[in-house]
Chain A
């Protein structure tokens, strides 16, 4: 059973589904989500349970209900392994873990925390039997606390929903998106968690429209109902899931820099201009995108200044520079860690089935 916290976008559920779809057929995954992405999870063919994020209740009330609901859910489905994907483990969840010690509890905890952040998050590691850490392209510059807490940690490659061979070819993806062949196709996805989605997106659209008809712009809209935002008129939009399936249609992307979107673009070698969100509580997006620029696989637009934007876009609109970025990304490519994470979960299932004396 996977428990996913709400988060701002689809990161947590996407990681859980990426691992789930690589489990052997005899293991039935259940996704217990706090995210409004429930319909997306179901459309991907997973069995899902839903528990609404806290709204009008007090923290005590909500945690109390979460604890009761989790204990009932454990009793109903008897999961051998429970994987939590999120940065902060909820009190109600920890209490349920403590009350039912018969299962293996796993924390899917990505790294790249902002330096010094997340001290209290780490104190709850003791509630978990194992930690799976989805890999990070920029791990060399990771200064976060998780780098010092390695006990019980299994590190896998970055976790992606799709494998390379699941992506549509450029021709197929262009046809699906109704794009004219031969153009320079740009995907704009400034990050659904970002309050600046509309102003930033609009700014890029206006700038890229000055390039004339050769540039075809597509704006990614969140498949989550509540995250729909108004955009300039006459734009082509895409709201498919998983969006990565159509990435090969694009010559470049202007994009937010959350874990999933970043690793998808770098992993699938799509040249990108990343806009890191410096205001996230834990995710060190600035360090991540800066590293990508240093390595020559993408550009990082941190200062929001018009001049630097021009400089970045000039580079990204140059076909030779894009080809260099793709080559460097290919040279530094990584595998998909979803299979490794699934293998670790299978081990834990087997340990639990074997009983405590063999574990």
Chain B
């Protein structure tokens, strides 16, 4: 159905009818087109994801500049994740903000924060298909374990570090 007719039709229907029509149209989209759309929806790989934790605005901007220097003309291949809200603006590398511990603890269970951050970082890494991850700044220990692939529940204590073997 030509898009113009579809839009004109849908604007004349009640909400319920419009919703039904939209789902019919979605279901009728050819499979090849749906597959092409799914492929196009894949975010290009990010070559380097940098987790900059507990840093201030000036430090975060320094990290961004170094990332851009490494990334050369491809800032879109660089990603910075931080709990600092100094946003980068257009034309810079990708930026993801995660609410800081203090803000979380004012509203939610403090024990859940590390789990929340670990989940968010893992979601971010997947959605940007990050090839390499580096962590800078004051990374909480549970988050380090999570980055190393060890699963830790929200209330669970991180495993104790083993003492070095006796000489």
Contact = CB atoms under 8 A, between A and B. Distances in A.
A52 interface: yes
A152 B15 contact: yes
A60 B89 CA distance: 21
B15 to A, nearest CB: 4
A36 B91 CA distance: 14
Dominant SS among interface residues on chain A: helix
Contacts of A225: 87, 89
Interface string A54-65: 011110110111
Given A42-B103, A56-B76, A65-B43, A50 B85 contact: yes
A49 B127 contact: no
B75 A56 contact: yes
A152 B19 CA distance: 15
Query: On chain A, which size bracket covers the interface?
Result: 35 or more
Contacts of B90: 53, 55, 226
B76 A57 contact: yes
B97 A38 contact: yes
Main secondary structure of the interface of B (DSSP, over half): helix
A52 B93 CA distance: 11
Given A56-B76, A65-B127, A68-B127, A123 B43 contact: no
Given A57-B76, A68-B127, A119-B11, A39 B85 contact: yes
Interface stretch (B34-42, B62-70, B135-143, B144-152): B34-42
Given A123-B11, A126-B19, A225-B89, A49 B43 contact: no
A38 B75 contact: no
A123 to B, nearest CB: 4
A226 B91 CA distance: 12
A226 B89 contact: yes
Nearest to A226: B89
Contacts of A36: 87, 89
A260 interface: no
Given A119-B7, A226-B89, A125 B15 contact: yes
Given A48-B99, A50-B97, A123-B11, A58 B107 contact: no
B156 interface: no
Interface string B33-77: 000010011111000000000000000000000000000000110
Nearest to B22: A126
Given A52-B95, A225-B89, A64 B42 contact: yes
A60 B10 CA distance: 23
Interface of B: 7-8, 10-11, 13-16, 18-19, 22, 37, 40-44, 75-76, 85-87, 89-91, 94-97, 99, 103, 106-107, 116, 119-120, 123, 127
